[in-house]
Amino acid sequence: MRHILTFLAVVLPFMATVAQAQSQHSIIIDETSFRAVQVDPRTGVGIDKIPHDNSNRPCARIKMHVNRMTRAEIDGLRVYPVGGSVVVMKQTVAAEGNGLIIELTAKEPTRFYLHHDKYGDSNEVSLNLEGDKEYTISAQLNILYPIFVSSDVVNAEVYIDNIYVGRTNERYTLTVMDVVPGFHKLRVQHGNSSVEQDIEVSNDNLDFRIEINHATSLPQYVTFEVSPKNAVVVIDKKSYLPDADGMVMLMLSNGSYNYQVSAKDYHTEKDTFIVSGSKVEKEIKLNPAFGWLSVASVGTLQGAAIFVDDNLIGITPINRLQLASGEHSVRIVKDMYEAHEGSVTITDGTLQNYTATLVADYATVTLNAGGGSDIYVNGAYKGKSTWSGDLATGTYLFEARKESHRETKLTQVIRSTPAKQSYTLDEPTPILGTLDVVCSPVKVDIYVDDKHLGSTPMREQMLIGKHKVTLRREGYKDEVRYVTIEEDKVADLNVSLTQKAQKSEPAKADTPAKQPAPAPKRPAKAPAKSPAKSTTAAPIKGYQSIVFADADMLFGAGSPLYLGIDYIGGCRINRGLFLGLGVGVNINVIDSDNDYLPDHLYDGKVYPLGNFKMPLYLYGRGYLGSRPNPAVQPFLGVAAGYNISFPTSVDVTREQTTSLCRFFGEFEFGLNIKPKSRKALFVSLSCPIYCTPKYVVTSKYEGKIVNGIGAGISLKFGASF
């Protein structure tokens, strides 16, 4: 009785499925797969000659691939044209693969369908065929079978191709619907027990039975001992990390498992093991996917830099550098040698010793520059008079330098051959000026830099630079002066010696011989070089700083008042003119909330005109009057620049900011109070003219800011020094 019920449970759904499949065309021709084999005669695709039909009309050949049908089932297919005047001349099973070859009258369009006594009719297709051409198209058996799975366990899990499809019922059975014909892997699992088998589903093979062996259903220990010990073990897509000894231990149910052992720089090992009633022990030793590279520090390789695959490895010697197996590029770089380019092939677990001979890229150069000259190579000091050393190939500038002399230069391209090269630099030429010395009394010994040159009067050429001049005569105190000799210029020195004091003071006072003789007349230019004249103008000229506090009242919207401090640095050109650059910081102490803006402007938009400003400007000042030390000195000033205002204007609704920079010019009148050289206190009043933003209403609730011209008044108090 049980087998009868089982048979009905299988057969009835199957028959219903077959009936439904037949009503929906069990055989489907895929019209979208239709294409010509020979698209153009120039493609050179050769085809067998296609005969004409009985009416001598051209025919076309269709090679149809049929999926999910056996060759015997394909042989049962028949082609039926739709409409008149189409004749099927040939239909045969292809010699290879699941195919059907059809030859029939070529028309546009040609309509036909397939018929099978078991599976019924296919869908109808309409194809545009040309005579003497070959085409391909696909078809498949569009039918799914129900299969019946039985076991000796209730609630056993059933898997088809590792996809869970259900559990066996109280009758130890499970019906699985919609199984594609063909080969599948069927697995039944209950608890720790699992049994697999390969099955073939077809119209004649729908009933499958798998029994569980409970004697071997207990889980078993599985151990993996791996090398290297940091390898990762993956069993059925689950990862396990070995312990310090490289061991992985776990318990698995009976069945088949896939494993993979992998580690960095090692070849991965994959395989399958089966747990079947006993412990499984696996010892996996991975093969290295690397080798080693060594570069000895011998010959020209001593101290060379080693690059492998464009990465700097280090300086020789390189000992057992681990590299992945395969080919690697090697570059060796060393000063004074050409770079070496090569490659090395690393094999698994082997040591590769790499060596090369570098080609010299330098020459030994000797430079000669007599007269105690300093020798420089590309601006670097090398030595005096003579130098010898190694220079890499390239262009060099050789120089011979000497104090108070004009240096000599030589540009030279150094090549590696000849290995030794010598070059001579001309001696630097002296740069001369003239020293003219007169003295009272005459015939005074002259020592320049403690070297005796003669006696006064004397005019002598000498090297430029600062020199110590000592005038010495018996009975007179020595006079020491320092003079600077300039090229092609005459430095005049006019000195009067002072007699030494005598032992008897009265005798010294009455002796007319001790009165200094009058100095000889000098040319008219001598007084112009007197130090006394240069000292009077020195305090006026030079760098001058101006610091002041100011209060700016700007006329216009809101009449804001800014208080700030400014600094101006520049140069006092002469007694009457100063030029400089200024910077300052000012804060608005009245209009900080922008209350002068229209009320409706705050309905979404705010345009602050700046609560702070930083002026950047050029400044000039002219001092009036010619008195050397007046009590009050008037001056006129002028400035031009621009103010950077912040916070910047903000459009709240758009979350945008726009910087406001206002150009300005300023005219100033002030008074210096008790000026002394460049130092003075001052007070001034000025009128700034500046660019100012102005709010213009464009509608009831909108407006815009435009730039206009405004004026103001500024009071300043500060100091110059």
pLDDT-based confidence at residue 478 (cuts at 50, 70, 90): very high
Say if CB 45 and CB 166 are below 8 A apart.
Answer: no
Stated as kind and residue range, the H or E segment containing 173 is strand 173-179
For residue 33 the two structure tokens come to 């797969």
Residue 712 CA from chain centroid, whole number? 52
Cα dihedral across residues 594, 596, 599, 605: positive or negative: negative
> Mean pLDDT over all residues of the chain?
83
For residue 254 the two structure tokens come to 């009976």
- Residues 82-138 have pLDDT tens digits of 987 899 999 999 988 789 999 999 988 899 999 999 888 999 999 999 999 999 999
Mean predicted confidence (pLDDT) in 155-182: 91
On the question of pLDDT at 364 being above 90, the answer is: yes
DSSP string, 51-103: PP-TTS--EEEEEEEEES--HHHHHT-EEEEESSS--EEEEEE-SSSSEEEEE
pLDDT of residue 3: 47
pLDDT of residue 704: 65
pLDDT of residue 29: 94
On the question of pLDDT at 530 being above 70, the answer is: no
Domains of the chain, earliest start first = 25-141 (2.60.40), 145-216 (2.60.40.1120), 220-285 (2.60.40.10), 290-354 (2.60.40.1120), 362-430 (2.60.40.1120), 432-526 (2.60.40.1120), 542-720 (2.40.160.20)
On the question of pLDDT at 685 being above 90, the answer is: yes
Q: What percent of the chain is modeled with pLDDT above 90? A: 58
By three-state DSSP, how is residue 391 classified? strand
**Preceding peptide of 647 cis, ω within 30°:** yes
Of 679, 672, 677, residue with least CA distance to 717: 672
Say if CB 293 and CB 354 are below 8 A apart.
Answer: yes
Say if CB 691 and CB 707 are below 8 A apart.
Answer: yes
Q: What percent of the chain is modeled with pLDDT above 70? A: 82
Q: How far apart are CA 19 and CA 21, in angstroms?
A: 5
Which of 176-190, 447-461, 697-711 has the highest mean predicted lDDT (pLDDT)?
Answer: 447-461
Q: CA end-to-end span of the chain, whole Å?
A: 125
Can you list the positions of beta strands (E) in 287-404? 290-295, 305-308, 311-315, 318-324, 326-333, 340-346, 351-354, 362-368, 374-377, 380-384, 386-392, 394-401
Q: How far apart are CA 687 and CA 554, in angstroms?
A: 10
On the question of pLDDT at 689 being above 50, the answer is: yes
On the question of pLDDT at 697 being above 80, the answer is: no
Say if CB 645 and CB 612 are below 8 A apart.
Answer: yes
The mean-pLDDT minimum among 94-108, 254-268, 350-364, 583-597 falls in 583-597
For residue 279 the two structure tokens come to 């412990």
Q: How far apart are CA 274 and CA 255, in angstroms?
A: 6
- Residues 29-55 have pLDDT tens digits of 999 999 998 655 555 556 778 999 988
Say if CB 362 and CB 390 are below 8 A apart.
Answer: yes
Q: How far apart are CA 170 and CA 269, in angstroms?
A: 44
What type of residue is 698? T
Mean predicted confidence (pLDDT) in 164-174: 93
Q: What is the dihedral of CA 267, 268, 274, 280, to 10 degrees?
A: 70
DSSP annotation of 657 reads: E
Of 396, 419, 418, residue with least CA distance to 409: 396
Mean predicted confidence (pLDDT) in 320-325: 93
CA atoms within 13 A on the CB side of 34: 13
For residue 63 the two structure tokens come to 């090679």
Query: Taking phi first (over 0 means left), then psi (-120 to 50 degrees means alpha), and beta for anything else, what does residue 221 get?
Result: beta
Q: How far apart are CA 77 and CA 83, in angstroms?
A: 19
Strand partners, 138: 30, 65
Angle 512-514-519 from CA coordinates, rounded to 5°: 105
- Residues 382-411 have pLDDT tens digits of 998 899 999 999 999 999 999 889 999 999
For residue 80 the two structure tokens come to 């039926």
**Preceding peptide of 109 cis, ω within 30°:** yes
Rg (CA), the chain: 55
Task: Please count the other Cβ atoms lying within 10 Å of the Cβ belonging to residue 668.
Answer: 19
For residue 19 the two structure tokens come to 């009936």
On the question of pLDDT at 674 being above 60, the answer is: yes
Say if CB 425 and CB 400 are below 8 A apart.
Answer: yes
On the question of pLDDT at 586 being above 50, the answer is: yes
Task: Please count the other Cβ atoms lying within 10 Å of the Cβ belonging to residue 317.
Answer: 14
Residue that has been written with the tokens 């996996």 in this structure = 284
- 125-153 in b/e form (b: 16+ CB < 10 A) is bebebeeebbbebbbbbbbebbbbbbbeb
Which position has the higher pLDDT, 203 or 559?
203
Q: How far apart are CA 137 and CA 126, in angstroms?
A: 12
Residues in contact with 426: Cβ distance below 8 Å, sequence separation at least 6, in sequence order: 369, 400, 408
Cα dihedral across residues 317, 322, 328, 329: positive or negative: negative
pLDDT of residue 22: 40
DSSP annotation of 32 reads: E
Count Cβ atoms within 10 A of the Cβ of residue 629 and give its class: 0-12 exposed, 13-18 middle, 19 or more buried.
Answer: exposed
pLDDT of residue 44: 52
For residue 143 the two structure tokens come to 């039918």
Residues in contact with 396: Cβ distance below 8 Å, sequence separation at least 6, in sequence order: 377, 378, 411, 412, 413, 414
By three-state DSSP, how is residue 682 classified? strand
Of 12, 23, 10, 16, residue with least CA distance to 142: 23
**Preceding peptide of 560 cis, ω within 30°:** no
pLDDT-based confidence at residue 590 (cuts at 50, 70, 90): confident
On the question of pLDDT at 163 being above 60, the answer is: yes
pLDDT of residue 119: 84
